[in-house]
Amino acid sequence: MKKLLVASMMLLAGHIVSAQHQEVSEKPDMYKGKQVQTVDTTSLLSAFKRGHFNGHFRYFLMATDNKAGLTDYYANAAGGGIRYETARFHGFQFAVSGFYTFNIGSSDLGKPDSTTGQSNRYEIALFDVENPYNKKDIDRLEEFYLKYQRKNISISFGRQLLNTPFINLQDGRMRPTGVEGVWMEYNDTKKIKAEGGLLYAVSPRGTTKWYHIGESVGVYPSGVNADGTKSQYNNNVSSKIVALLGLNFKAHKNLNLQVWDVYTDNVFNTAMLQADLLFPQKNNSSFFAATQFTRQDAINNGGNTNAAKTYFEKSGKSFSFGARAGWKNKTWETSINYNRITAHGRYLMPREWGREPFFTFLPRERNEGFGDVHAIMGKVNFNIPKAGMKTSLAAGYYKLPDVKNYRLNKYGLPSYTQVNADIRYSFPGILKGFEAQLLVVWKMNTGEMYNNKRFEINKVNMLQYNFVLNFHF
């Protein structure tokens, strides 16, 4: 069925290419004695013929170099996709997109490390996390929605790609996370933007399937329960709907406030408040600062009446707060960032749904699943717009609970230091449309591992190399 859908999209694209002319009346009008062809903009057919399409090809090389004696991994992925959106017809628009991926050369991603028994962590998400040996049938219908827009309000229904603080694309692999449901946006263009909706299905990055909300929780590795036993919530979470609401309010020309609430039916509720301040200076530069507060509370039994199979501990809660300060101009941006997750409980948000919104987040690691965390991160960005170059260097220290403190350390990750170097280049001229990225990640252990390599492999004392080449058209 998936192959049929993707093939249908390719046929649709071919049809669109051949029909990129406007629908013309069979009976031309007359103007000053000359025939004038009139454009049909009133029919549904014309809305489809006046639609537009775009495409995307992507190559991704990822390689993880673990400490000597532990397994190293590499993967080469290549793929492409196409998207089509109709012109607006009485306020309605229809969109559809799909993407395919091929494994064109990788290490054995299904073979556990011989020393620790641990499986591959990073490279597998380029393909199919549920089947490491699936190298060809990696395709997905990503978008399939109908949108209605009137003045400042839009409503879309179906499969779509969303970016919110808690449910987002997290597109650091071949394909992003997709969602299915109803989404509404209101924007008065001056001070207020409101958005929200009801979601009933998720297709996490690194998968080819669509899952109901409860099924989507646990597709990725699930760590341990608070008592140290293996988590068993995969396929055991009872939840049908996620309701989101976000408000963005420009209280002053230099002060922006945003409030978000994520209600996961029968599991937990997450609320966030963030304030961003800007202090303009001379010479087109600015100082900036921000604060963020997050609170989580369990709902009912957290997903299952059996404590061993629940996602969010009954009566559980977590608190997080963070701050950032920095300076920027057209070329440079520097910032210092801090985040604290208190010892009240683990901060939990299904990794299948997106990455965390904390100021201290760096690609290739998260602080989801932990409590009693102190994180500090500094970043410097240097951009050369005329040369199409963007560079970033960031370093962070993340003090986590002891790996044997299971109540507050879900994934057995020791405290660590992480350094990321990121270079991006947009090609000009004849190669316009191509974009290249090189990301190098270094993670060093700073915590106690009790001489157990399971706490080390794919977690700390490792280097990772990422090279990505995109072509958009």
Does residue 225 contact residue 308 with C-beta atoms inside 8 Å? yes
Task: Give the number of other CB atoms < 10 A from CB of residue 346.
Answer: 27
* Confidence (pLDDT) at 136: 83
DSSP track, 424-451: EEE--GGGTTEEEEEEEEEEEE-S--TT
* Confidence (pLDDT) at 171: 87
* Confidence (pLDDT) at 40: 65
User: What CA–CA distance (Å, rounded) separates 442 from 454?
Assistant: 18
Helix (H, G, I), strand (E, B) or coil at 458: coil
> Beta-strand (E) ranges in 66-175?
73-85, 92-106, 138-150, 153-160
User: What CA–CA distance (Å, rounded) separates 5 from 156?
Assistant: 21
Q: How does pLDDT run across 70-104, given as a tens digit for each residue? A: 999 999 999 999 999 999 999 999 999 999 999 99
- Per domain, the residue ranges of the chain are 2-19+41-472
HSE, side-chain direction, 13 A CA sphere, residue 263: 10
Q: How does pLDDT run across 126-183, given as a tens digit for each residue? A: 999 999 999 888 999 999 999 999 999 999 999 999 999 999 999 899 999 999 999 9
Residue 189 banded pLDDT, cuts 50, 70, 90: confident
Q: How does pLDDT run across 365-414, given as a tens digit for each residue? A: 999 999 999 999 999 999 999 999 999 999 999 999 999 999 999 999 99
User: What CA–CA distance (Å, rounded) separates 96 from 48?
Assistant: 12
Does residue 357 contact residue 351 with C-beta atoms inside 8 Å? no
Identify the residue with better confidence: 19 or 240: 240
Q: Tell me, rounded to whole angstroms, the distance of Cα 180 from its chain centroid.
A: 15
- pLDDT for residue 17 is more than 50: no
Q: Which CATH superfamily is domain 2-19+41-472 in?
A: Porin (2.40.160.10)
* pLDDT (average), residues 236-246: 98
DSSP track, 307-334: GGG-SS-TT-EEEEEEEEEEEE-SSEEE
Q: Give the residue from 13, 52, 6, 58 showing the smallest Cα distance to 176.
A: 58
Q: How many residues does the chain have?
A: 473
What are the residues whose beta carbons fall under 8 Å from the beta carbon of 408, sequence distance 6 or more? 343, 345, 346, 370, 371, 372, 401
Q: Are strands 211-212 and 462-472 parallel, antiparallel or unpaired?
A: unpaired
Q: Are strands 192-203 and 34-36 parallel, antiparallel or unpaired?
A: unpaired
* Confidence (pLDDT) at 348: 98
* pLDDT (average), residues 58-67: 98
- pLDDT for residue 2 is more than 80: no
Does residue 156 contact residue 119 with C-beta atoms inside 8 Å? no
Q: How does pLDDT run across 26-61, given as a tens digit for each residue? A: 444 554 555 555 556 779 999 999 999 999 999 999
User: What CA–CA distance (Å, rounded) separates 390 from 367?
Assistant: 26
Place of tokens 């989801």: 368
DSSP track, 227-262: TSSBP--TTT-----EEEEEEEEEEETTEEEEEEEE
Q: Tokens for 277?
A: 């301040």
What are the residues whose beta carbons fall under 8 Å from the beta carbon of 373, sequence distance 6 or more? 339, 340, 341, 347, 367, 398, 399, 400, 401
Q: Tell me, rounded to whole angstroms, the distance of Cα 295 from its chain centroid.
A: 21
* Confidence (pLDDT) at 256: 97
Q: How does pLDDT run across 198-236, given as a tens digit for each residue? A: 999 999 999 999 999 999 999 999 999 999 999 999 999
What is the chain's mean pLDDT, rounded? Answer: 93
Helix (H, G, I), strand (E, B) or coil at 420: strand
Q: How does pLDDT run across 256-269, given as a tens digit for each residue? A: 999 999 999 999 99
Does residue 205 contact residue 175 with C-beta atoms inside 8 Å? yes
User: What CA–CA distance (Å, rounded) separates 102 from 178?
Assistant: 19
User: What CA–CA distance (Å, rounded) separates 166 from 98?
Assistant: 24
pTM of the complete model beyond 0.85: yes
User: What CA–CA distance (Å, rounded) separates 315 from 296?
Assistant: 10
Residue 300 banded pLDDT, cuts 50, 70, 90: very high
